[in-house]
């Protein structure tokens, strides 16, 4: 499953000239914590979040006259001020392509400690957003659908194995495989392929095998 399959396409956004107040209103009214900043051609310029707004609202603490430092001509501590989205946004933003797998997106979000990702095409145009709730939707596939994919897609389709040789049970996304296959390689691949199916939470592997390898595999190994 790809990012494009599960992303949200109805996206709240602001322009680079959107005012501080308008950005705050958009975040509050939309009940979101961040919005993308787009130009007129829907290209992503950056992201503005609640944290960016708070940083923009930061004011230096007033200094009492008794403690006022002597002017030295050097600038004081930097405070990030801005009145528009372009001045307040964080850029460049971490993005993901719609063709990326859900697994890659989840890994990116975890490694970058992000709760959502802007989804952009090859020209940098915004086509959607991917949030944690979108990723969780992958695991909402019902057990019957998952079982059918294991039997028809993995066993019969990919491994060319008679599905009758393997008992497949699926409960709340946990797949139990019980049976005997021809080789150890077949058994290992079956478990690995099933583990990678969308919606599979865990694989309980109870597969056995008749031999470690096919005779033809042994013959090829001898050549090397």
CATH of the domain at 214: 3.30.300
CATH of the domain at 114: 3.10.580.10
Q: What pLDDT shows up at residue 57? A: 65
Tokens of 24: 């705050």
Question: Please, which pLDDT band fits residue 78 given cuts at 50, 70 and 90?
Answer: very low
User: Which own/partner contact pairs does 56-65 have at CB distance under 8 Å and 24+ positions apart?
Assistant: 56/20, 56/80, 56/81, 56/82, 56/87, 56/88, 57/20
Taking the CA atoms of the chain, what radius of gyration do you get in angstroms?
27
Q: Do both 28 and 47 map to the same domain?
A: yes
Q: Do both 102 and 29 map to the same domain?
A: yes
Q: Do both 100 and 35 map to the same domain?
A: yes
Tokens of 55: 């940083």
Are the CB atoms for 123 and 103 separated by under 8 Å? no
Query: 162-209 pLDDT, tens per residue?
Result: 999 999 999 988 899 999 999 999 999 999 999 888 778 789 999 999
Q: At what angle are helices 50-57 and 20-30 packed, to 10 degrees? A: 140
Q: Do both 128 and 97 map to the same domain?
A: yes
Are the CB atoms for 191 and 205 separated by under 8 Å? yes
DSSP state string for 63-100? --GGGPPPP-SS--------SBHHHH-B-SPP-B-TTS
Q: Do both 167 and 88 map to the same domain?
A: no
Q: What pLDDT shows up at residue 58? A: 59
Are the CB atoms for 115 and 132 separated by under 8 Å? yes
Neighbours of 66 (CB within 10 A): 5
The last residue of one of the domains, among 94, 121, 138, is 138
Question: Please, which pLDDT band fits residue 70 given cuts at 50, 70 and 90?
Answer: very low
**Which pTM value belongs to this model?**
0.58
Answer yes or no: is 74 within a domain: no
Tokens of 35: 């919005």
Answer yes or no: is 29 within a domain: yes
Q: Do both 184 and 219 map to the same domain?
A: yes
The number of folded domains in the chain is: 2
The whole-chain average pLDDT of the chain stands at 82
Length reported for the chain: 224
Q: In which residue are the tokens 């470690």 written?
A: 212
Answer yes or no: is 77 within a domain: no
Range of the domain at 127: 3-58+82-138
């Amino acid at each position: 499953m790809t990012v494009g399959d599960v992303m949200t396409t109805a996206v709240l956004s602001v322009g680079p000239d959107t005012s501080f107040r308008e950005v705050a209103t958009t975040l509050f009214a939309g009940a979101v914590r961040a919005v993308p900043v787009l130009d007129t051609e829907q290209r992503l310029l950056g992201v503005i979040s609640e944290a960016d707004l708070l940083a923009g609202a930061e004011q230096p603490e007033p200094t009492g006259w008794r403690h006022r430092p002597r002017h030295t001509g050097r600038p004081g501590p930097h405070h990030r001020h801005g009145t528009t989205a372009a001045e307040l946004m964080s850029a460049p933003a971490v993005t993901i392509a719609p063709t990326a797998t859900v697994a890659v997106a989840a890994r990116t979000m975890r490694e970058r400690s992000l709760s959502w990702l802007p989804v952009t095409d090859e020209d940098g145009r915004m086509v959607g957003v991917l949030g944690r709730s979108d990723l969780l939707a992958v695991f909402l596939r019902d057990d019957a659908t998952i079982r059918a994919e294991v039997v028809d897609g993995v066993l019969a389709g990919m491994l060319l194995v008679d599905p009758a040789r393997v008992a497949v049970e699926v409960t709340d996304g946990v797949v139990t495989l019980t049976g005997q296959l021809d080789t150890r390689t077949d058994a290992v691949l079956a478990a690995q392929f099933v583990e990678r199916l969308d919606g599979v939470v865990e694989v309980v592997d109870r597969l056995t095998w008749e031999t470690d390898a096919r005779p033809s595999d042994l013959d090829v190994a001898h050549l090397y």
